[in-house]
Amino acid sequence: MTSVVATQFVPLVATAAAAKDFMVVSLHDIAPSNRDVANEIISELSRHSVRVCSLLVVPDYHHQGLVTKDRQFVAWLRNLESDGHEIVIHGYFHERPRRPNETLRDKFLTRFYTHYEGEFYDLDYEEALRRITNARDEFRASGLAPQGFIAPAWLLSAEAECAARDAELEYTTRLRTVRDLRSNQEFAARSIVYSVRSSWRRTVSRAWNAALFQFLKNNPLLRLNIHPPDYSHSAVWTQILRFIDMMDETRTPTTYCDWIAEQRLTADRKA
């Protein structure tokens, strides 16, 4: 990997912190309709030493209207970006209608695993490219600088991944991996995420994530994913903050963009 590629965008993480492992806290599904709760989450995370997050913004959440048309919302995003947070393109509509002739696997992933929100699960290349480039251009025209694309529920077709790469974005993620779209290098990094749609899901999520956290806590990158509804369930939110506090002394909070840049610099130094 050349120095030009490796330093295409430089990480904000201080070199002195590179000896630590990293943690990315990402806040998903951000739209004007949940701006207030998202702001509360970001503020509380900051009080727990997480001062930068990857903020997954949906361009037109469930067809409620383009976020870039909301001047106050865009100004809020720009302020967050200037403070070191990262703006990430998170789908376009964040919804996927039923399709004819769906398999049992299709139904499980798009209706049970995620509730009709796997937008990029089976999009073809042309439609995926159109949505991703529209989002990229709309965000940039509003003064934002998205570097990554993450599909809703991490359900990303192979064609959509190619589209994100051809849209000249830097990275994408799936449930278990982070992929550098420039080098095509894939990093194993399982996500911790909650399902809060029902009481039994919340109970299972807390038990599963408690075990998963123990399994993942020594990984070089820990990914903790938050959705706005998580904040309204005290047992879930308390566990999230406990995980963060447990990692305070051993991990540096960062963003996906900065983490990818750090991996490129490390690879370049070894080349």
pLDDT at 187: 97
What average pLDDT does this structure show over 183-202? 95
pLDDT tens digits, 126-169: 999 999 999 999 999 999 999 999 999 989 999 999 999 999 99
- The residue-averaged pLDDT of 46-68 equals 96
One-letter amino acid at 250 equals: T
Neighbour-count burial for 232-242, b at 16+ CB within 10 Å, e otherwise: ebeebbebbee
Burial of 82 (0-12, 13-18, 19+ CB in 10 A): exposed
- d(CA 121, CA 157) in angstroms, rounded, equals 5
Q: Three-state SS for 176?
A: coil
Work out the pLDDT band at 1, boundaries 50, 70, 90: very low
pLDDT of residue 20: 73
Q: Per-residue confidence at 120, pLDDT binned at 50, 70, 90? A: confident
pLDDT at 4: 34
63, pLDDT greater than 90: yes
pLDDT value at residue 152: 92
How far is 167 from 128, CA to CA, in rounded Å? 10
As a whole number, mean pLDDT of residues 249-267 equals 94
Least confident span in 8-12, 48-52, 149-153, 219-223: 8-12
- Dist. CA 114–CA 18, nearest whole Å: 35
Q: Could you report the per-residue pLDDT of 166-191, keeping only the tens digit for each?
A: 999 999 999 999 999 999 999 999 99
Residue 107 has pLDDT above 80, yes or no: no
**How high is the pLDDT of residue 11?**
54
Identify which has the larger pLDDT, 9 or 177.
177
Contacts of 76 (CB under 8 A, 6+ apart): 35, 39
Q: Above 60 in pLDDT, residue 2?
A: no
The chain-wide mean pLDDT, for the chain, equals 89
Tell me which residue of 172, 139, 182 sits closest to 256, measured CA to CA. 172
- Give the residue-averaged pLDDT of 30-44: 97
pLDDT at 104: 76
Domain that holds residue 170: 3-270
Other C-beta atoms lying within 10 Å of the C-beta of residue 41: 22
Higher pLDDT pick, 57 / 250? 57
* Beta strands per DSSP E along the chain: 21-30, 54-57, 86-89, 171-173, 177-180, 186-188, 191-192, 221-226, 251-254
Cα–Cα distance, 146 to 88 (Å, whole number):
5
CA distance 136 to 162: 15
Q: Cα–Cα distance between 16 and 34 in angstroms, integer?
A: 36
Number of domains in the chain: 1
- Alpha-carbon gap, residue 223 to 22, rounded angstroms: 9
Quick one: pLDDT at residue 96? 65
Cα separation, 129 vs 143, in Å, equals: 21
Q: What is the mean pLDDT of residues 102-108?
A: 68
User: How far is 163 from 42, CA to CA, in rounded Å?
Assistant: 31
pLDDT-above-70 percentage for the chain: 89
Quote the CA–CA distance of 167 and 203 in Å, as a whole number. Answer: 40
CATH code for position 155: 3.20.20.370
Say which residue the tokens 């806290």 belong to.
Answer: 25
Using the 8-state DSSP alphabet, how is residue 112 labeled? I
pTM of the predicted model over 0.95 = no
Give the tens place of pLDDT for each residue, 210-227.
Answer: 999 999 989 999 999 999
Tokens of 246: 């447990």
CA 30, 177, 103, 164 dihedral sign is positive
